[in-house]
Amino acid sequence: MQHLRIILKSGLGVLLAIMVASGDALTSILMRLTKLGGVQNFQSIFWNQVAQMIFVLCLTIAVRPKLRRECWKETVVLVSGGILRVAATVCLCLSYLHVLPGNTWSVVYGLGPVLTIGLAALIAKERPNVVQVVGMVICICGVTMVGVSMNAKEANSQTVQQQVLTLLYPLSATSLLTLCWVLLRWLSQRGVPLVTHMFYYSISGILLLPLAYLVEKPGWSFSPGIWGLLVAQTLAYAMQYISNAAAIHNETIITVQILKVLTIPMAFLMGVFLLKLAPNVLEICGGAIATVGAVVVGLWALRSNLKQKRHEQIKEILGFSDKPT
């Protein structure tokens, strides 16, 4: 029983990262369905943030963490991280509106792990090992294949200059999101409670409501079916956000970011059942390659954590045995 408990603790971060990928994939599918039902883009994101805030506020009331940090640097990072995350969410939305899906996925899931390695080494002092680098390269190869295939299927009337300019949206989204999660990892290393992270990163989402009215003038009259899809979408989004914060709290940021590449094959799989969209051969191959890279990193992380837990257990046993009776 104790051995099973050690295995579960060792694989908690990996499991949470996989839950993030599945939640992200499900959210993207449901957002597409609600958009077909008339839900505006910023309105949809606002409802996602509302569900996230409700969950986090309930956790905050239940746990009652200390929201004001003794170190002013931590408080500044918490507030700044919340604002940056809102900006990143807006940039990501604009990416899906104005940029070809293949380009967006290639930048977000291809460039994201690379940026994470640099920022994690600089801020969180976490450096990649050989397995993580190899797994990341494999994932990038798979993501690139998916991006090329998706771009080939999309009709594109933009000029080269327009395509370059619109790529600034996913680049900005990836950079800001990566910075947010690396800062969250830095705060975790300094002992800031997980619920405190989530509170500051969630409460800033209220800024999206006036933005939705300024940009789109959303409507609120939907059929019961669309409301049901919207509720499911917000629950999936809240689940993936909480899982993401908890994963970064329990696992290295580099491992979590690489495992989130599993969003692509999971989105393809869910798209077959929910949207009746079958991926082509190149997309299947790219998704399979990305999955291999993520699985390699995930299994290595599980093995390393298990080895560390067993080492700590042995030290604890030896420590007790050294005590005088």
Summarised one tens digit per residue, pLDDT across range 179-189 is 999 998 998 88
Give me the residue label for tokens 């039902």.
Answer: 37
Give me the residue label for tokens 């900006």.
Answer: 87
Mean pLDDT, residues 116-141: 93
Convert 2-31 to b/e letters by CB count within 10 Å (16 or more is b): eeeeeeeebbbbbbbbbbbbbbbbbbbbbb
CA–CA distance, 325 with 307 (Å, rounded to integer): 30
Residue 225's CB is within 10 A of a number of other CB atoms, namely 11
- Angle (CA) 206-212-218 rounded to 5° is 125
Of 242, 264, 255, 245, the C-alpha closest to 302 is 255
Whether 321 has a pLDDT exceeding 60, the answer reads no
Whether 260 has a pLDDT exceeding 90, the answer reads yes
Q: What is the DSSP string of 190-202?
A: TT--HHHHHHHHH
What is the Cα 82 distance to its own chain's centre?
A: 15
pTM above 0.85, yes or no: yes
DSSP character at residue 207: G
Tokens of 107: 């930048």
pLDDT tens per residue, range 285-299: 999 999 999 999 999
pLDDT tens per residue, range 107-122: 888 889 999 999 999 9
